[in-house]
Chain A
Amino acid sequence: MSQDTVFGKADVKALIKLQKADGRTLYYQVVDQKNIEISEQEYKLQGGI
C-alpha cells in the first residue's frame, strides 16, 4: 500500500534481522505494524543483508 505525497506516492518498506545474543537469528518483514517472520532466503531476496 502507498502513501500519497506531494510527489505522487511513496512506499516505505522495512526488513528486520534480529541476531539474538544466544546465537539465533530471526528475519521479519514489517507489514502494518506487525513483524511477519520470513526465511533467510526471502529476507535476502528482498534486499536484506
Chain B
Amino acid sequence: MAVGQLWTDAGQAQCVDLLDLNTRSGIATTYFGAWGSGGNTPLVTDTTLQLENPEARTAILAANISQPLSNTCRWTYSLTATAVRTVQETGVLTAVTGGTLINHIVHGSLSLVAGDIVTYTVDLVLKDSSE
C-alpha cells in the first residue's frame, strides 16, 4: 500500500453510492481542496484532515477535474497561504465545511509565508487485481 496517499473508505463508499440509482441523487458531487499541517500517516478510516489550516477550501470546478486515462480521476486545485503556515497534508472533500473526505495525502512538510501558493494535482487511479 502506498504510504501516505489513500482513497478513504468514505470515498469508496461514495463511489458505490454514485453507481447505485437508489442513492446517487443524494450524493454531493461538489469538490473542494483543503490543506493542513498534520503529519501522521493517514488511515483509510479518516474522515477529516488531521489539522486543517484556516484558509478557506478551494472549490474545484469541473474544468479542474479530468480523466487523463479512463481509469483515472484528476483533481487540480490551488491554495494560498494567508500567513506563515506549515503544510503537510491535503485532501479533496465534498463540501466547503465538513463533507466527505475522498482522499487523504500526507506529504513532506512545506514551510510557507503569506502569499505562497501551492497547487496540488491529485490522481485517483482504479485498477483491477491484475494491474
A residues within 8 Å of B by Cβ? 1-21, 28, 30, 32-35, 46-49
Can you spell out 15 A-B residue pairs with CB atoms less than 8 angstroms apart? A1-B2, A7-B15, A11-B2, A11-B5, A12-B6, A14-B123, A16-B121, A20-B113, A20-B116, A21-B116, A30-B108, A32-B2, A32-B3, A35-B107, A35-B108
Contact B5 A12 (CB under 8 A): yes
- Tell whether A16 pairs with B68 under 8 Å between CB atoms, given A5-B7, A21-B114, A33-B107: no
Nearest-CB distance from A45 to chain B (Å)?
11
Roughly how many angstroms separate A15 CA and B1 CA in the complex, as a whole number? Answer: 18
Roughly how many angstroms separate A47 CA and B126 CA in the complex, as a whole number? Answer: 17
Q: Does more than half of chain B's interface fall in helix, strand or loop, or is it mixed?
A: strand
> Which residues of the other chain, A, contact B124 by a CB distance below 8 angstroms?
10-12
Roughly how many angstroms separate A10 CA and B73 CA in the complex, as a whole number? Answer: 11
Contact B122 A8 (CB under 8 A): no
Please, what's the 1-or-0 string for B11-33, where 1 marks a CB less than 8 Å from any CB in chain A?
A: 01001100000000000000000
Contact B107 A6 (CB under 8 A): no
- Tell whether A12 pairs with B76 under 8 Å between CB atoms, given A1-B1, A35-B110: no
Nearest-CB distance from A32 to chain B (Å)?
4
B101 at the interface (CB under 8 A from A): no
Contact B5 A30 (CB under 8 A): yes
Not counting A3-B2, A33-B41, a sample of 11 additional A-B residue pairs whose C-beta atoms are within 8 angstroms of each other reads A4-B1, A5-B126, A7-B12, A9-B131, A12-B125, A13-B122, A14-B107, A33-B3, A33-B4, A33-B107, A34-B107
Question: Which residue on B lies nearest to A3, using beta carbons?
Answer: B1
Nearest-CB distance from A7 to chain B (Å)?
6
